[in-house]
Amino acid sequence: MRITVIGTGYVGLVSGACFAEIGHEVRCVDKVEAKIEALLRGEMPIYEPGLDALVARNVEAGRLSFSTDLVPALEGAEAVFIAVGTPSRKTDGHADLSYVYGAAREIAAAATQRLVIVTKSTVPVGTGDEIERIIAEVAPDAQIDVASNPEFLREGAAIGDFMQPDRVVIGTQTDHAHQVLHDIYLPIEQQGAPLLFTARRTSELIKYAANAFLSIKITFINEIADLCEAVGADVRDVSRGIGLDNRIGTKFLNAGPGYGGSCFPKDTLALLKTAEDFQSPIRVVDAVVHVNETRKRAMGRKVIRAMGGNVRGKIATVLGLTFKPDTDDMREAPSLSIIQALQDAGVHVRAHDPEGVEQARTMLKGVEFVDDPYGAADGAHAVVIVTEWDVYKSLDLSVIAESMAQKVLVDLRNIYSEADAQAAGLAYTAVGRVANGAAPSMDATAANDQPAQTRAIA
């Protein structure tokens, strides 16, 4: 089938390349000329493992092409996927749908044959209804069906998620749209992936509900980690103990500095705004958003405490800037808040990341970026692991410790053991784990009963 994809960002480019891989003829369209020119040269606008080879293979096979011109890209197409950004509006937190609606208007104006417009972008409930209204306004005689097909692509594992998905969610209102989407995804279905057909509004809500639930799991285990530190328990064992219950599962139960990225922060906020508009508040998600935001800066204070409290003029090395490994995405990354907290306390911050430095330079001021994690640790008073890149899982801690001015390792991803750190001569701080597994003393418990403002470190 012929498919058009509007938008060559993360979702659009990965989806377009994967649609081509399963045999469809795909034309990807983007208004940003520089991005299309780069793609035509074989240069990827994002870092995603395996994407460059996948794109090159399908371009060479003639199944994938790129253009800035929508009109010829629509010729002969049976479906057009809208995969543009839906960032949070700064004014009220709602999803900004201006790019989605703009694309819908252009498609309606250019369509000359029956089409199915499919929202691949993450959009609030009722977006498909508004797209239908726009089509009726722009091209009242056009034969255009509107469907929803939310993406569930994890950055760093997106190609596998598309080709071997847990499920494909498709929301339609007409038999024609149902048939077209079924035909598009037939190769995926034949490999065993379930296609879940629903009403369009239900499909739109599934995406938000899924991301909100995962955000809840992350935030829950992070708060349990804080409790573990208070009572002398180990959050890693707590995670295993509850995760082995198949009603709960083991995924998204790794304690850390909080969630970030392009999806969870904006999608939880958009879900709250939708619930508010329909006078059906989701209080648990509201709490999750608040807890996650405060946690990120709290991790900065955790580092300051590990460094001894009086940190002005000291150096902290941050290993990992992106919100997760195997991506260059810095959006809402915990590192941003952690670094800000350190800088506010007078700490000079050095940083290393395998892929995120280019984006980080535009978002972080006063940070010294270093090409090598060992070089970044030289003369530092603390090394802080923020993102669990593989390169940080096999560091020679003895070499790290030898060059440091103050031998402190703050492991916000629980990569190392306390024994390994101590063997290298490093004072070790983790998340949800107490040094030597010792329970806090009664004096420590009493101190924790003091008002927060009397014990907080700025």
Residue 452 pLDDT greater than 60, yes or no: no
Question: Which residue shows structure tokens 């092409």?
Answer: 65
Residue 444 pLDDT greater than 50, yes or no: no
Where b means 16+ CB within 10 Å and e means fewer, 109-136 reads ebbeeebbbbbbbbbbbebbebbbebbe
Do residues 74 and 6 lie in contact, with contact meaning Cβ atoms separated by under 8 Å?
A: no
Instruction: Find the mean pLDDT for residues 168-191.
Output: 98
pLDDT for res 124:
93
Catalytic residue among 18, 28, 228, 263: 263
Work out the angle at residue 201's Cα, subtended by the Cα atoms of residues 280 and 21, and round it to the nearest 5 degrees. 135
Boundaries of every domain in the chain: 2-198, 213-454
Instruction: Find the mean pLDDT for residues 77-106.
Output: 93
Q: In terms of CATH, what superfamily is 213-454?
A: NAD(P)-binding Rossmann-like Domain (3.40.50.720)
pLDDT for res 114:
96
Instruction: Write the pLDDT tens digit of every residue in 328-354.
Output: 999 999 999 999 999 999 999 999 999
Instruction: Write the pLDDT tens digit of every residue in 96-113.
Output: 999 999 999 999 999 999
Give the pLDDT band (50/70/90) at residue 441.
low
Instruction: Find the mean pLDDT for residues 293-316.
Output: 96
Listed in sequence order, the DSSP H helices in 145-199 are 158-163, 175-190
Fold of 2-198: Rossmann fold (3.40.50)
Maximum Cα interatomic distance, the chain, rounded to a whole number of Å: 76
Instruction: Find the mean pLDDT for residues 158-180.
Output: 97
Instruction: Find the mean pLDDT for residues 445-455.
Output: 41
pLDDT, the chain, mean:
93
For the question of residue 28 being annotated catalytic, the response is: no
